Chain A
């Protein structure tokens, strides 16, 4: 079972996505997104990307989801709708889960699925060997290259964040 841990985590990822796409009250949607974010971090960690997994938790969940959480707390209703309290939400949730389990069943039956691309389980066992990377982590070195090869990228993103803050202040000024 441990050899298929990444596939199981990705199934839980899709289930979390179905949980907030069936649109219960936004506070429960935020809960589904937090679960999916945590499981997505686990998938990235299983591929060896420790820094990018940490980015998901710290920046995405710890930064963006917190902001969504308190904005939802500001604009929410007295009795939030949970998944079982509305037939439309429950029906959409069950339809999404059924679709995902049907796909998993086809994968387990035929060992390959063709939707637009041909997905097969054998792709997990192919190792791309591009030479020896030495004693350092390739992914951390690639992100560190943001400051040497990607200087212009940093300048553009920093400037666009500053302009974004100015735009938000103009929007929320009111008149």
Chain B
């Protein structure tokens, strides 16, 4: 496999690790989710262009459409959290504390 794929997969793994570890802001985790989508888009585009799989060129666009949908939903939830608590800190989401 080509070396570019190694770097793109490394970028996906770095972003996944960033998504799973929270700091203070909920927005940072949504940004890491967007980063995962970007690295998947680039990886799919490079593999499709490299193997001349013409008909699959529409797949990264469809991936981007669903990523936009998901980002918008995540942002609307963040806006509601921010409206309730004033900030989007993760420590505010503590209603299910045992």
**Could you tell me which A residues sit within 8 Å of B by CB distance?**
6-7, 10-11, 13-14, 17-18, 20-23, 25-26, 29-30, 33, 36-37, 40, 43-44, 47-49, 52, 55-56, 59-60, 63-65, 67-68, 71-72, 74-75, 77, 88, 96, 100, 103, 107, 113, 115, 117-121, 123-124, 128, 130, 133, 138-139, 141-143, 145-146, 149-150, 153, 157, 160-161, 164, 167-168, 171-172, 174
Contact = CB atoms under 8 A, between A and B. Distances in A.
Contact of A157 (B42, B50, B66): B66
Contacts of B50: 47, 128
A103 to B, nearest CB: 7
Interface residues on B, range: 35 or more
A103 B79 contact: no
A56 B28 contact: no
Interface of B: 1-8, 10-11, 14-15, 17-18, 21, 23, 25, 27-28, 30-32, 34-35, 38-39, 41-42, 45-46, 48-58, 60-62, 64-69, 71-73, 75-80, 82-83, 87-88
Contact of A168 (B28, B55, B73, B88): B73
A71 B31 contact: no
16 contacts: A7-B4, A11-B7, A20-B31, A44-B42, A52-B49, A52-B60, A64-B67, A65-B34, A74-B79, A77-B87, A119-B2, A123-B1, A128-B51, A143-B61, A145-B54, A157-B62
A168 B76 contact: yes
A37 B39 CA distance: 9
B34 to A, nearest CB: 6
B1 A120 contact: yes
A134 B73 CA distance: 43
Given A43-B46, A139-B57, A119 B3 contact: yes
